[in-house]
Amino acid sequence: MSQVFDFLSQQPVLLLFVVIGIGSAIGHLKVRGVGLGAAAVLLLSIGLAAWAASYDVDLEIPEAMGTLGLALFTFCVGIISGATFFSSLKRSLGPILAVAGVLVASAAVAVAVGGLLDLDSPVVAGSWAGAVTNTPALAAARDAAGDDTGPTIGYAVTYLFGVVGMLAGVSAALRHRKHDADAPPMLVTRTVRVEVDANLSVQELEELHGDRIKFSRVRHGETAPIRTANGTDTLLLDDLVTVVGPSEDIDAVTRELGHTSSHHLEADRQYLDMRRITVSAEHAAGRTVAELDLLHRFGATVSRVRRGDVDMLATDDLQLQLGDRVRVIAPRERMAEVSTWFGDSSRGLSDIVPVVLGLGMAAGILLGAVKFPVPGGAFTIGSAFGTLLVGLVLGKIGRIGPVVTAMPYTAAQAMSELGLLIFLAQAGSRAGTQIGAAFTSGEWLKILVLGVVVTTFVSTGLYLVMRRVFRVGGTRLSGIMSGAQTQPAILAFANARTQYDARVALGYALVYPAAMITKIVVGRILGGL
């Protein structure tokens, strides 16, 4: 084995992908539906490096690769979350602040318990990062502490229970899912016959229902052609209209206008056609549905938008992203023209938008290197936090002039996963040569105790606060706990248990960015103590 390790030590790129490949294969192995996921890459990297150290071989992946991987991960997370993060701050500020509060309190617990166990501050910082399973927090702690080994050892020892402990909390939350009262609205399409003569316009009706519904088709009279609905259309007696929205709102507007018709306008393709089209043209991305002005361009309208695995109502203020699949209703003879205008290419799913990636990453890394003066010195936020902030802003803006500032959802997801794997492989190789000392001295047991305390505190605190204070249902709570732990493996577990209930994804997306920011900031503070 010595010759193998010698060879790998001279081929760091080969070593990187060997660790990622084999580690990911191990991570996919599951026991009762639970696997290690990305954590297997970290553990394998530590194990290989420790094994090589026993042969006096330094099996280490260069630190620059780890920095690159981490910056990619946090930047892409910001890009993905930017569109929803800032609006979430307005809608659900209470739960978001509660998650941040629990995490900050857990850091205080870590400092207190770490002091009782006589652990060094860098080890405490890394142990806390592992207990809350957050790799960027580890990077922030290492940077602030000026010590790569101590935090990484603490992270490696506590990470596994960080996953397992939160899985137990999610399982407890899901026991109550039968009694959930916060099921997300399912979008339905219905044709309604107008039986009142209220002379209300389409726009007025949509505004009366808080823009939770959208009219897509209208037919004035029995023999008139079916047209795409215009906001200025006035609904008259015996008109037929197609309405899209949550079932409760559709029921309400049906009662207001008349009754459900036995005719289905969406099934009649004589005048209008319907098609799912992929947004791949840059001139269509980063703009709201209203800004597209499809009605005047093509006589068309968009009723729904599918992003990732979630269907959304195409409200006027919804901003489209590259890779979105829009459900378009348009005149039959113009559908091909509409499709060409949107692009409708698989490139919309995979284009990494190099301008945004390069300049965004550069801006985030530069921001992370800026020194902010504080009493007694100065501090930097680090490249992980810097790239996350820039990614969030770019994801929110969507477009600057002719330049699209976001990336397709699927491309950003793939790049974030690659970045995380690269960083975990590098971090593990750095710690592997030193972790033997922790086990030899018996310090690993103290670190493990600290990790168990922190993970249990976070899991229990989130459960109690969300259930007792905010009355969150079990299904959504499982997503919130997964997002607060910033842990994809726990999200996958919750999805599998709920058959991919949309409430899990909504809960995860609600708190993930805030939890990520909180952990990076706290990790840096703990590392600097």
**376 Cβ contact partners less than 8 Å away, ≥ 6 residues apart:** none
453: number of Cβ within 10 Å = 20
**184 Cβ contact partners less than 8 Å away, ≥ 6 residues apart:** 502, 503, 506
Q: pLDDT digit string (tens) for 90-104?
A: 778 899 999 999 999
Q: Are 332 and 269 in contact (CB under 8 A)?
A: yes
Q: pLDDT digit string (tens) for 40-86?
A: 787 788 888 888 888 888 888 888 898 898 889 888 888 887 877 77
**pLDDT value for 433:** 67
Q: Where are the alpha helices (DSSP H) in 175-318?
A: 202-208, 247-257, 289-292, 294-298
**pLDDT value for 340:** 92
Q: pLDDT digit string (tens) for 315-331?
A: 888 888 888 899 999 99
**pLDDT value for 110:** 96
H or E segment to which residue 214 belongs: strand 214-219
**CA contacts within 13 A on the Cβ side of 53:** 16
Cα torsion 491, 495, 498, 503: sign: positive
Q: Which of 292-296, 374-378, 415-419 shows the lowest mean pLDDT across its residues?
A: 374-378
Q: pLDDT digit string (tens) for 439-495?
A: 766 788 999 999 999 999 999 999 999 999 998 888 889 989 988 998 766 776 787
**pLDDT value for 184:** 56
Instruction: Provide the mean pLDDT of the chain.
Output: 85
pLDDT higher at 346 or 49: 49
Report residue 231's pLDDT band, with 50, 70 and 90 as the boundaries.
confident
The token pair at 413 is 């997801």
Quick one: average pLDDT of 160-168? 84
The Cα–Cα gap between 130 and 527 comes to 13
Q: pLDDT digit string (tens) for 355-408?
A: 889 999 999 999 988 887 766 566 677 787 788 889 889 988 888 888 888 888
Report residue 502's pLDDT band, with 50, 70 and 90 as the boundaries.
low
Quick one: average pLDDT of 168-185? 77
pLDDT of 160 strictly over 90:
no
Q: Are 125 and 145 in contact (CB under 8 A)?
A: yes
Q: What percent of the chain has a predicted confidence (pLDDT) above 70?
A: 92
3-state helix, strand, coil in the chain (%, to 5): 60, 15, 25
- CA distances to 96, 385, 485 from 90, rounded to whole Å, are 10, 22, 22
Nearest to 514 by CA among 103, 164, 109: 103
SS3 label, residue 20: helix
**pLDDT value for 221:** 79
Q: What percent of the chain has a predicted confidence (pLDDT) above 90?
A: 33
Q: pLDDT digit string (tens) for 181-228?
A: 666 567 889 999 999 887 888 888 998 888 889 999 999 877 789 999
H or E segment to which residue 166 belongs: helix 149-174
**pLDDT value for 123:** 92
**pLDDT value for 18:** 93
**414 Cβ contact partners less than 8 Å away, ≥ 6 residues apart:** none
263: number of Cβ within 10 Å = 14
